[in-house]
Chain A
Amino acid sequence: MATESFDHPFLNKIRTLGLLFGALFLVLTVIGAISNPQQFYQSYIIGYVYWLCISLGCLSLLMLHHLISGRWGFVIRRLLESGARTLPLMVILFIPIIFGMHNLYEWTHADVVANDPILKFKSPYLNETGFISRAVFYFVLWIGMTWLLTKWSRTQDETGEPGLKSKMINLSGPGIPVLILSVTFASTDWVMSLEPHWFSTIFGFIFVVGQALAAMAMCIIWVVNLSDADAFSEIEASKYLSDLGTLMFAFTVLWSYVSFSQFLIIWSANLAEEAPWYIKRGQGGWDIMAVALILFHFALPFFLLLQRAIKRRAALLLAIAVLMLVMRYVDLYWYIAPSFSHGGPVGFHPHFLDLTIPLSIGGFWLAYFAMQLKGAALVPLHDPRMAETFAGEGH
């Protein structure tokens, strides 16, 4: 059997528009970067982490799907695979961060470290060589796991070899702990160390949950837009939208839970080494953003997704998914942007680069994603578990 491919007008549209807008915003970004390099790196890390989280979220949901093999997973497996396969693109996009290390990370400045006992203490971990070599290590792990999983999945389409199923399960079992650990350390390196005195043990976990939420929202957007594709109508993919909505609901609640836990513990202990992180983010405009997070990252989606009727209406679910993707950016912006005050008072100073960079990366990301999605059938063809999962379907 020849390798199947998939085509849909929406894919082509996204690819063209993605490239177009990616390039357009790239031009604006370059203009901004030349006039204000410091601002460029500060905005860049937010936009980069945002899209990387979606790629990694796809990889983690993919492995989760292999382990628990729910029906929802077969519907979005190809989307998750394509999302994870954007990781090579994210490697290239990581290069500006290496160039911008000195602009972003206080601990790269030898003179600062020499006068700061805490940074000196941390220097065996927070140093440039360690930072870069760990980044290489994370990417090798992530891309390696993605490569194996997607290769096996596509071979399964062609040959239908039953043993591949077990291979994917056996990789995903240990793969999830490996992914969670690597994401934890990556988030420590890239985000937490922007404020190198601050620490929180739940931080990595918040990223793991946040990226799963972003990936699920992304998948819902694609499933709704591709629902008229033949492969999706065959398995009646739109029936599973409410399952996907339930999962998005679960991740939203989980995100609220871990975020609130971190806040409550730090707020009530009120320790000098921890509390300033929240104090910064609770004043000068950031407080409004915090309230927006509570309202639109938690309360609104919570009450909407609680209702079954809403989860069954594709257009509404699509709107909620878009809202979640926007709020994920707001959340990361609130996490990262106030870090750059360097001791001074933090004002809320959004810059146009804060918009053009995520949009530019997003354009290229989506175009790349669409191309990956074209490479294989939209729904796995010969997974032995599919027959049994979709059997006797009256649901």
Chain B
Amino acid sequence: MASTAPEKEDPTAPAPVLGPGQTYTTVTQKISSIITSRTPLGWIIGVALALGLMQCFALGVTWLLIKGVGVWGLNVPVGWGWAIINFVWWIGIGHAGTLISAILLLMRQNWRNSINRFAEAMTIFAVICAMQFPLLHTGRPWIAAYWLLPYPNSMGVWPQFRSPLIWDVFAVSTYFTVSLIFWYIGLIPDFATLRDKAKQKVSRVIYGILSMGWRGSAKHWHNYEMTSLLLAGISTPLVLSVHSIVSFDFSVGLVPGWHATIFPPYFVAGAVFAGFAMVLTLALPLRAVYGLHDFITDRHLNNMSKVMLATGLIVAYGYGMEQFYAWYSASTYEGYMMQNRTWGPYSFEYWMLILCNVAVPQLLWIKWVRLNPIMLFIVSMFINVGMWLERFIIVVTSLHRDYMPSSWDMYRSTPWDWLLYIGTIGIFLLGMLLFIRVMPVINIVEIRLLVPRKGHDKKPDHDASADASAD
């Protein structure tokens, strides 16, 4: 504690991660009040909107199940259209959540504490949305189980483990389960807080059941902390593996434009890139509506922007490598694919993608942009669009020019594609809104760790573990 002085002299010192004057009592009060207070009108409007969007999903699914996947814009040679694009897009959004909750925990980046819970919830709902697409793409999901999951069935048939699509089933369901476990473990002590704060008997009972009798005893914390750390440790390679496996869906095949060894790391970076853009898209309005400026501070905006910039550069590196090695390979197919992607019928989408994912994110080099919520929101929206376009380009431009010109075709989406896509946005929004209303949107325990200890004049923006151990 010898040195609080140099920070004050240094104008470039990082902004605090927790606003001044917060104590254990105030942080608990502030965060749980989001739940215990009256339902704000904005929330009701939001839920109405989300339910409206979900009707699109219901409509889209109903018609799909009646008519079959032909109602989508799919046809030979483009057999994978919006379904896989949206699947990859949603999974990618989920990844930022795990990055924030696991990787940044391992790196002792305590600024993540206040956005962690929110990001984890985002992961779970995004994965739920993602799972809809491949399941529906099977056409008749209720009988797809026997070739998706290995269970002894009356036909004596087993899944084909040399297909990356089966790897996806394992990866995504593991990812969903582990995220849920991680999320729930983080929630247990907060449920205990809500149990003790609840005014009505019903909520006390429900939160009581959810908290499983958590007492906050030293023994509880002893095992709890170790479990969180280990779950973070296993989530980190998990998140890397999930999007790598998604990228294997494309890259282990032969299709030019899909078969590239750079795909795994480039997909992972793209996922984090898209995910952080989505975190900001959601967190910036949330912060304004609920007045959470003390918890989602300028430092968060700055750091999240830097992560977006870094992952965006890796994605740009991926585009560059694809271009260079398509030429360097001296392969006719690779060369034609890239020429068609860049200057062919989908070149508008390709250059829009370059604009959204490569050009616009360079604004994040400027500190003013990183700290300006409105600018940041705009940049994030560009990235959301750009990352969707990236998957579109990868899926469609690689397929629509088959090896034989007689098989060439153009891919057009149909209204049913749109309905499903918009519908999943409804599912996601509804999930997030319900989460905000019934669960602590910020991890209260981890925020308590940021509160300066009494008797220590330590600044709260130090590393949480150093804080807890300073004695």
Contacts and interface: CB of A to CB of B under 8 A. Distances in A.
A121 B240 CA distance: 36
A258 B331 contact: no
Nearest to A258: B265
B95 to A, nearest CB: 15
B470 A199 contact: no
Contacts of A268: 162, 252
B200 to A, nearest CB: 43
Given A261-B244, A269-B254, A391 B2 contact: yes
Interface of B: 1-4, 6-7, 9-10, 12-13, 107, 162, 237, 240, 244, 248, 251-254, 259-265, 313, 317, 320-322, 325, 328-331, 365, 458, 462-463, 465-467, 469-471
A285 interface: no
A257 B365 CA distance: 30
A271 B262 contact: no
A173 interface: yes
Contacts, number: 105
Interface in A73-89: none
A388 B4 CA distance: 7
Interface residues of A, number: 43
Contacts of B261: 200-203, 261-262, 265-266
B264 A261 contact: yes
Contacts of B254: 269, 271
Contact of B240 (A199, A257, A271, A384): A257
B330 A204 contact: no
A184 B316 CA distance: 14
24 contacts: A118-B330, A162-B10, A166-B12, A181-B320, A188-B328, A201-B261, A201-B321, A201-B322, A201-B325, A205-B265, A257-B265, A261-B264, A265-B264, A269-B253, A269-B254, A273-B331, A387-B6, A387-B7, A388-B6, A388-B7, A391-B462, A392-B467, A394-B470, A395-B469
Question: Top 3 nearest A-B pairs by Cβ distance?
Answer: A201-B262, A202-B261, A394-B469
B314 to A, nearest CB: 8
Of B4, B317, B328, the most chain A CB neighbours within 10 A belong to B328
Interface of A: 70, 117-118, 121-122, 125, 162, 165-166, 173, 177, 180-181, 184, 188, 197, 199-205, 253, 257-258, 261-262, 264-266, 268-269, 271, 273, 384, 387-388, 391-395
A115 to B, nearest CB: 15
A199 B1 contact: no
Nearest to A257: B240
A202 B330 contact: no
Contact of B328 (A199, A253, A387): A199
Contacts of B2: 391-392
Contacts of A271: 254, 259
Of A165, A180, A394, the most chain B CB neighbours within 10 A belong to A394
A177 B259 contact: no
Contacts of B469: 394-395
Of A121, A203, A265, A273, the most chain B CB neighbours within 10 A belong to A265
A253 B322 contact: no
A188 B329 CA distance: 12
A117 B335 CA distance: 15
A181 B317 contact: yes
Contacts of A117: 330
A199 B325 contact: yes
A159 B466 CA distance: 30
Nearest to B244: A261
Contact of B458 (A121, A125, A392, A395): A392
Contact of B321 (A184, A262, A266): A184
Contacts of A166: 12
Contact of B4 (A70, A269, A391): A391
Given A269-B254, A384-B10, A392 B262 contact: no
B3 A387 contact: yes
B470 A261 contact: no
Given A199-B328, A205-B265, A391-B1, 7 more contacts: A165-B12, A201-B321, A205-B262, A261-B263, A384-B6, A388-B3, A391-B462
B161 to A, nearest CB: 12
Contacts of B252: 264-265, 268-269
Contact of B263 (A173, A177, A265, A394): A265
A181 B314 CA distance: 10
Contacts of A391: 1-4, 462
Of A70, A177, A387, A392, the most chain B CB neighbours within 10 A belong to A392
Given A199-B328, A205-B262, A253 B1 contact: no
A257 B1 contact: no
Nearest to B259: A269
A121 B330 contact: yes
A12 to B, nearest CB: 34
Of A173, A264, A388, the most chain B CB neighbours within 10 A belong to A388
Given A165-B12, A202-B262, A387-B6, A122 B244 contact: no
A173 B10 contact: no
A354 B262 CA distance: 31
Given A261-B261, A273-B329, A388-B13, A173 B365 contact: yes
A205 B269 CA distance: 13
A266 B248 CA distance: 11
B325 A392 contact: no
Contacts of A266: 261
Nearest to B465: A395
B458 to A, nearest CB: 6
A181 B319 CA distance: 12
Of A165, A201, A392, the most chain B CB neighbours within 10 A belong to A201
Given A265-B248, A273-B329, A392-B458, A202 B264 contact: yes
Nearest to B456: A392
A43 B1 CA distance: 54
Nearest to A201: B262
Contacts of B320: 181
Contacts of B264: 202, 257-258, 261, 265
A392 B466 contact: yes
A118 B467 CA distance: 61
Contact of B329 (A199, A257, A392): A199
Contacts of B330: 117-118, 121-122, 197
A143 to B, nearest CB: 23
A177 B313 contact: yes
B455 to A, nearest CB: 14
